[in-house]
Amino acid sequence: MKVHHVGYIVDNLANAMIEFEKLGYKRVGEPVYDQVRDIYVVFVNNDGVMVELVMPKSRNSVIYKLAGKYRNMPYHICYETDCLEDDIEQLTKRGYMLIRKPEAASAISNNRVAFLMHLDVGIIELVEKKVINYERECCSEKGQL
Amino acid sequence: MNDEQIIEVITRMFREVFDDESMVITGSTSQEDIEEWDSLSHLRIILLLEKEFGIKFDIDRVGSLTSVGSIVQEVRNLVRR
């Protein structure tokens, strides 16, 4: 499966963006607020390697506890899929557990994503392949970052 | 398989996930009793149980299994199917 991006939990999105840029990453679009997961997200790219910087907005965020425990660390790899449902079915037969059902991801042009977990792999994300446009509206609450 | 036998298996899972061979688990043990029992370790326990028993948990119910007793009950129901 083709890797789309690496998901990376950060403590402070603004500071992380600065440091990743110093490492040679270029920001892809502006940070967006994903209301479904209650997270701020921005993509950065370094020579084709896409990293998704993710910061929980509040305690209600699905990754709030993870962020508190792991701070600044990669926590999933996202793979592209032509058919989300087919790949979920195949992966669950191979021991993966669907931990977050398919839903639109505002940070990826509302492409549908799903999260799965495997004992020997950890957390993976699947993103449904379609025209992916990283140019999106700025987060209305960007000032809080 | 009775509840005691299921708890024995769950105890083995908890000891593996939390890397604590002395961990004692009872039906009344809950997430409040084990500080390290967070969402990620919870999912690892569920995955280990799926592998051990050859069952599939309903993801909509996994989050509500916050005590060993509730996990035992769910495993018992799934094994019976």
| Beta-carbon separation of B38 and A65 below 8 A | yes
Assign domain A3-133 to its CATH superfamily.
2,3-Dihydroxybiphenyl 1,2-Dioxygenase, domain 1 (3.10.180.10)
pTM of the shown model: 0.84
Q: Which residue has the higher pLDDT, B75 or A132?
A: B75
Residue-wise pLDDT tens digits, B56-80? 999 899 999 999 999 999 999 999 8
Which ipTM did the prediction report?
0.83
Min distance B47 CA to chain A CA atoms (Å):
7
- What string of DSSP letters covers chain A? --EEEEEEE-S-HHHHHHHHHHTT-EEEEEEEEETTTTEEEEEEEETTEEEEEEEE-STTSTTHHHHHHH-SEEEEEEEEES-HHHHHHHHHHTT-EEEEEEEEEGGGTTEEEEEEEETTTEEEEEEE-S------PPPTTGGG-
Chain A positions touching chain B (beta carbons under 8 Å): 65-66, 69, 92, 95, 97-99, 101, 117-119
Residue-wise pLDDT tens digits, B20-38? 999 999 999 999 999 889 8
Query: What is the CATH classification number for the domain harbouring B26?
Result: 1.10.1200.10
pLDDT value of residue B20: 94
Count Cβ atoms below 10 Å from residue A11 Cβ, excluding itself. Answer: 13
pLDDT value of residue A106: 84
pLDDT value of residue B38: 87
Which residues in chain A are closer than 8 Å to B50, comparing Cβ atoms? Answer: 95, 97
Specify the number of domains making up chain B. Answer: 1
Say whether pLDDT at A130 is over 60. Answer: yes
| Beta-carbon separation of B47 and A97 below 8 A | yes
Which is nearest to B37 in space by CA: B20, B53, B58? B20
The Cα A51–Cα A48 span in angstroms is 10
pLDDT value of residue A142: 37
pLDDT value of residue A70: 77
Residue-wise pLDDT tens digits, A40-49? 999 999 999 9
What is the domain extent for residue B23?
3-80
Give Cβ neighbours of residue A10 (< 8 Å, ≥ 6 apart).
A16, A53, A54, A55, A67, A71, A72
> Domain coordinates of chain A in residue numbers?
3-133
| Beta-carbon separation of A69 and B43 below 8 A | no
